[in-house]
Amino acid sequence: MESLSLNIQKDDWKKEKHVPVIELKEPAKKGEPINIHLCVGKEIPHPNTPEHHIRWIKLFFQPDGEKFTIHLGTYMFEAHAESIEGPNKGSAKCEPCVHTSVILEKPGTLIALSYCNIHGLWENSLRVDFEN
Amino acid sequence: MESLSLNIQKDDWKKEKHVPVIELKEPAKKGEPINIHLCVGKEIPHPNTPEHHIRWIKLFFQPDGEKFTIHLGTYMFEAHAESIEGPNKGSAKCEPCVHTSVILEKPGTLIALSYCNIHGLWENSLRVDFEN
Amino acid sequence: MESLSLNIQKDDWKKEKHVPVIELKEPAKKGEPINIHLCVGKEIPHPNTPEHHIRWIKLFFQPDGEKFTIHLGTYMFEAHAESIEGPNKGSAKCEPCVHTSVILEKPGTLIALSYCNIHGLWENSLRVDFEN
Amino acid sequence: MESLSLNIQKDDWKKEKHVPVIELKEPAKKGEPINIHLCVGKEIPHPNTPEHHIRWIKLFFQPDGEKFTIHLGTYMFEAHAESIEGPNKGSAKCEPCVHTSVILEKPGTLIALSYCNIHGLWENSLRVDFEN
Ligand SMILES: [Fe+3]
Ligand SMILES: [Fe+3]
Ligand SMILES: [Fe+3]
Ligand SMILES: [Fe+3]
C-alpha cells in the first residue's frame, strides 16, 4: 500500500529552499509559552508567484513517551500577487514564515511539514528539551 | 532525525475506526470529474464530542511516474456540539465525511490523511486506474 | 472602522459564477444527518487555473434564537493543474464542490462563504426547517 | 437573505477578550516585508480548553481603490490540551497569536477575523499607510 511517508521529502534547509526551518529563540520551559519560528526559504528564498509558491506549513509535536502525534497548528499563505490584471500584478503577497507560541508539558520533537504547489511535501524536525 | 512518517498510523478501516476510507462509486476516466468519497468511521463510528473528534481529512494524489505529491484538498470538521451551555449541548455537529470531485490526467494513487484530536494521524490509499 | 461585512459580495448564483450554492437533496430532520451540497460555478463554471480559481468554501450555521454563529466546516480546493512543467500542465485539479453531512438540533440558516483568488469573497445562505 | 455580515461581532479588544488585535511594530513600506502581529486575548486571556478555545484567525487585506478583498492567510490553533487521559490533560496547547509577514504594494486596510468555538466570529481592522 502506498503511504504518504514515501512522499515526504527531507534535505538540508541551507541547501534546499523547500525545507521548513524550526527555531526557538530562547530555552524552552515546561508549561510556559515557547516562541517558535517557522520559515521556508530562510537561506535561499523560494519563489512566490501564483504559479509557484509555498502554500502552507503545518506544525506537529511528538511528546516523549506518548503514542499519538499532536497537531499544533496550520499556517496558510494565501496571497501570491494574483490579480484580475494578471499574475504577479496583485497588491499583496505573504512570506512563508510565521512565529507562533505553544505551551508544552513534556519534552519531545517538533515536526514541521510544508507544501510547495509544484514541488510537494517537505519536512523538518527539532528536538525540544526543557531547561532546568 | 524524527520524521512524520513514523507517526502516521495505518490499519484496516473495517476494524479501526480512525482510518479514512477512500471510495470511487464509478470507474475513473482521464480528464473527467471523478467523484471521491472520504469518510472516517464508516464501519465503526468515531465519537464526535468537543473532547474527542475527527478534526480533518486531507487528500493527496501521487501521479504515476511523477516525483512530487499533489495536495488535492483539505476538509475540516469544525463543529462538535460545543456550546456556551456546556460540551455536547451545541446545536450542530458535522460528520467526518465528504464527497468531492477531482479531474486527473494520469493514473496514480490517492492518499487520505486524517486527524483525531486525541489519537493522532491515520492514512489510507486507493489506486486509481482509468477505464479504457 | 473597516469591516469584512463591506467586502462580502452577494448575487444570484444562476447569473454570477462566484456565488456558492447550498442545496439539501432531502427534507432536513432534527438530530439526523443532513446531506448538504456546496458548489461554486454550478450554473456557469468558474475557471480553474493556477492564476484564477476557487480556493475554498466555508460553511456556517446560525441556529434560530442563538446569538453565536457556528462554523461547521472548511473545504479547501488545493490543486489547479500547477506543474513543474508550467501552469495548467499539472496532472490534477479539483472542482469547487463538496457534499458534506451535518447533524442539527435546531432550525436555522446555513451560510456559505467562498473565495476566488482574484475576485474575493462571496456568500449565500439557505434556510433550514425541519419536517415534522 | 441572511448574511454573515450580521454575525460578525466587533468590540474594543481591551475590554472584550475575543477581538483579534492587529499590530505593526514598525512603519510599513511599499514592496517590503511588513511584520504583522495577530493575537486574540492580548489584554484579557481567552480560555484554552477542548471545550472552549480560539480555533483560528484569518487575515484579509482591502487595498485602497480595489474592488476585491485579498485573503492573506489563515492561522489555525489546533491543540488545546486534549488527551486520551481526558480533557485538559494533554501535553500541548497553542496560544492564539502569530506573527506573519506580508508584502503590500498599496496602502489599505488589514482585517482580521477570528473564531471562538462557542462565541463565534469576531473582527478587527487596521489601516496601513506607507511611510514615505
Ligand atoms: Fe517550489
Ligand atoms: Fe479518536
Ligand atoms: Fe473568479
Ligand atoms: Fe470564547
ipTM of the complex: 0.97
Q: Which of C18, C72, A94, A44 is nearest to D75 (CA)?
A: A94
Q: Residue range C108-118: average pLDDT?
A: 98
| Dihedral sign computed on CA atoms, order C82, D113, B84, D88 | positive
Look at residue B48 and tell me whether its pLDDT is greater than 80: yes
In whole angstroms, what is the distance from residue C35 CA to residue C32 CA?
A: 10
3-state DSSP assignment of residue B4: helix
Contact D82 B118 (CB under 8 A): yes
For D49-105, the pLDDT digits (tens) are 999 999 999 999 999 999 999 999 999 999 999 999 999 999 999 999 999 999 999
Assign B2 a pLDDT band (cuts: 50, 70, 90). Answer: confident
Look at residue C1 and tell me whether its pLDDT is greater than 70: no
- Closest CB to A95: pick one of D33, D90, D108: D33
For C5-20, the pLDDT digits (tens) are 889 999 998 999 999 9
Residue C53 distance to chain D (closest CA, Å): 13
Assign B58 a pLDDT band (cuts: 50, 70, 90). Answer: very high
* CB-based contact A49:D111 (threshold 8 Å): no
Q: Distance from first CA to last CA of chain B, Å, rounded?
A: 44
Asked whether residue D4 is domain-assigned, the answer is no
* CB-based contact C55:C75 (threshold 8 Å): no
How deeply is D84 buried, as exposed, middle or buried, from its count of CB atoms within 10 A (0-12, 13-18, 19+)?
A: middle
Contact D119 B78 (CB under 8 A): no
Asked whether residue D108 is domain-assigned, the answer is yes
C119 given a catalytic annotation: yes
Q: What is the 3-state secondary structure (H, E, C) of chain D?
A: CCCHHHHCECCCCCCCCCCEEEEECCCECCCCEEEEEEEECCCCCCCCECCECEEEEEEEEEECCCCCCEEEEEEEECCECCCCCCCCCCCEEEEEEEEEEEEECCCEEEEEEEEECCCEEEEEEEEECECC
Look at residue B1 and tell me whether its pLDDT is greater than 60: no
The cell for B115 is 486527524
Give residues with Cβ within 8 angstroms of B132, minimum separation 6: none
Asked whether residue A94 is domain-assigned, the answer is yes
Interface test with C, best of B23, B42, B70, B97 (most C CBs within 10 A): B70
Assign A2 a pLDDT band (cuts: 50, 70, 90). Answer: confident
Domain with residue A67: its CATH number is 2.60.40.730
Asked whether residue D2 is domain-assigned, the answer is no
Give residues with Cβ within 8 angstroms of D58, minimum separation 6: D71, D73, D74, D75, D112, D113, D114
Residue D106 distance to chain B (closest CA, Å): 31
Number of domains in chain D: 1
In whole angstroms, what is the distance from residue C22 CA to residue A69 CA?
A: 35
A3 vs B contacts (CB less than 8 Å): 5, 8, 10, 111, 123, 125
In whole angstroms, what is the distance from residue D102 CA to residue D34 CA?
A: 5
Radius of gyration of chain D (CA): 16
In whole angstroms, what is the distance from residue B63 CA to residue B102 CA?
A: 13
If you measure from the C-alpha of residue A15 to the centroid of ligand 1, how many angstroms do you get, rounded to a whole number? 13
Asked whether residue A4 is domain-assigned, the answer is no
Residue A109 distance to chain B (closest CA, Å): 7
Catalytic residue among D15, D17, D51, D67: D17
- Closest CB to D101: pick one of A72, A78, A97: A97
Which subunits sit against D, judged by 3+ Cβ pairs under 8 A? A, B, C
Which subunits sit against B, judged by 3+ Cβ pairs under 8 A? A, C, D
Contact A82 C119 (CB under 8 A): no
Interface test with B, best of C76, C77, C128 (most B CBs within 10 A): C76
Asked whether residue B27 is domain-assigned, the answer is yes
Q: By percentage, how much of chain C surpasses pLDDT 90?
A: 92
Interface test with D, best of C1, C4, C114 (most D CBs within 10 A): C4
Residue C123 distance to chain A (closest CA, Å): 19
Q: How many other CB atoms are found less than 10 A from the CB of residue C14?
A: 11
What pLDDT, on the 0 to 100 scale, is given for residue A32?
97
For C15-57, the pLDDT digits (tens) are 999 999 999 999 999 999 999 999 999 999 999 999 999 999 9
Q: Which of C48, C47, C69 is nearest to C59 (CA)?
A: C69
In whole angstroms, what is the distance from residue D93 CA to residue A5 CA?
A: 26
What pLDDT, on the 0 to 100 scale, is given for residue B21?
97
C89 given a catalytic annotation: no
For B10-34, the pLDDT digits (tens) are 999 899 999 999 999 999 999 999 9
If you measure from the C-alpha of residue D118 to the centroid of ligand 4, how many angstroms do you get, rounded to a whole number? 6
Residue B37 distance to chain D (closest CA, Å): 25
Contact D117 B87 (CB under 8 A): no
* CB-based contact D26:D120 (threshold 8 Å): no
Asked whether residue C4 is domain-assigned, the answer is no
If you measure from the C-alpha of residue D18 to the centroid of ligand 4, how many angstroms do you get, rounded to a whole number? 6
For A6-50, the pLDDT digits (tens) are 899 999 989 999 999 999 999 999 999 999 999 999 999 999 999
Asked whether residue A5 is domain-assigned, the answer is no
* Chain mean position to CA D121: 11
Contact C125 D60 (CB under 8 A): no
Which domain, by its residues, includes A91?
10-128
D116 given a catalytic annotation: yes
The amino acid at residue C103 is I
C50 vs A contacts (CB less than 8 Å): 50-51, 87, 117
Q: By percentage, how much of chain D surpasses pLDDT 70?
A: 98
Classify each residue of C20-37 as buried b or exposed e, where b means 16 or more C-beta atoms within 10 Å of its C-beta: bbbeeeeebeeeebbbbe
* CB-based contact C116:C20 (threshold 8 Å): no
Look at residue C2 and tell me whether its pLDDT is greater than 90: no
For A75-125, the pLDDT digits (tens) are 999 999 999 999 999 999 999 999 999 999 999 999 999 999 999 999 999
What pLDDT, on the 0 to 100 scale, is given for residue D2?
82
Q: Which of B2, B86, B108 is nearest to D118 (CA)?
A: B86
Q: Which chain D residue has its CA at the smallest distance from A33's CA? A: D95
Contact D101 A78 (CB under 8 A): no
Catalytic residue among D37, D93, D106, D119: D119
